[in-house]
Amino acid sequence: DVQLVESGGGLVQPGGSLRLSCAASGFPFSNYSMTWVRQAPGKGLEWISYITRTSYTIYYADSVKGRFIISRDNAKNSLYLQMNSLRDEDTAVYYCVRSIGYWGQGILVTVSS
Amino acid sequence: EIVLTQSPGTLSLSPGERATLSCRASQSVSSNYLAWYQQKPGQAPRLLMYAVSTRATGIPDRFSGSGSGTDFTLTISRLEPEDFAMYYCQQYGTSLWTFGQGTKVEIK
């Protein structure tokens, strides 16, 4: 079975940094592009970043461009999201997504002083 | 960026009734790469439909999808108690996915 397990969330002050990880299993991770999606409390879903299989192509939403960095380690079957210069509005549940039907359970990031 | 607009924002219905949810795109969705998700509080979104009208694995046939181009519909033929939830449409025709703002189906 496909499994995606996020970790690394928590409480961070505005301006701080956090690194999310997503451990993938049950499928050939290196064969798939990956995506991060987030959901602020009580709000809808927001696509934030995409990375191809080899990391050759990367995209970011304007809301996180220049602050967040997506990366992957195919040898470790892992996806990452380095989040810098965090703002209150980055508070959300962050989901690791393989393709449209395969989502992790999500990890909460709270940015607050 | 393709903007998806869902309507209505809230649908108040009784179990057994038919639910019709709309999703309108600001431009044509490439290759009809349009999906629908159901989300309940505290859970990750669950894929219901992809490619407009193909049900995901394990989704009951009371759920159906239709439409093309810029106008899409999710229909739940007879609402079951477990169907009261939030529903989102999503376009995945580009790598920069976009989602509708959601329709809440609530018990009347």
* Chain segment A78-97, per-residue pLDDT in tens: 999 999 999 999 999 999 99
pLDDT at A100 over 90: no
pLDDT at B94 over 90: no
8 Å CB contact between B87 and B105 = yes
pLDDT at B30 over 90: no
8 Å CB contact between A48 and A68 = yes
pLDDT one-digit tens code per residue, A6-23: 999 999 999 999 999 999
Interfacial residues of B (vs A; Cβ cutoff 8 Å): 35, 37, 44-45, 47, 50, 56, 88, 90, 92, 95-102
pLDDT at B101 over 90: yes
Average pLDDT of the residues in B79-105? 96
| Owner of token pair 């999606």 | A37
* A102: CB partners within 8 A, 6+ apart: A2, A4
> Does B47 contact A101 at a Cβ distance shorter than 8 Å?
yes
Share of chain B above pLDDT 90, in %: 93
Residue B95: per-residue pLDDT: 87
Nearest Cα to Cα of residue A106 among A38, A57, A40, A54? A38
Name residue A80's beta-bridge partners: A21, A71
> Does A45 contact B99 at a Cβ distance shorter than 8 Å?
yes
pLDDT at B102 over 90: yes
Sign of the alpha-carbon torsion through B79, B83, B88, B92: negative
* A42: CB partners within 8 A, 6+ apart: none
Where does the pLDDT of residue B17 fall: very low under 50, low under 70, confident under 90, or very high at 90 and above?
very high
pLDDT one-digit tens code per residue, A32-76: 999 999 999 999 999 999 999 999 999 999 999 999 999 999 999
Nearest Cα to Cα of residue B35 among B97, B81, B78? B97
| Owner of token pair 């439409």 | B67
pLDDT at A102 over 90: yes
CA atoms within 13 A on the CB side of B35: 20
8 Å CB contact between B32 and B49 = no
> Does B95 contact A57 at a Cβ distance shorter than 8 Å?
yes
Chain B residues within 8 A of A33 when measuring between CB atoms: 95
**Rounded to an integer, what is the distance from CA B63 to the centroid of its chain?**
10
Amino acid identity of residue B86, one-letter, is M
pLDDT at A101 over 90: no
Q: Return the residue in B97, B99, B104 with the most chain A beta carbons within 10 A, the one to mutate for interface testing.
A: B97
Residue B71: per-residue pLDDT: 97
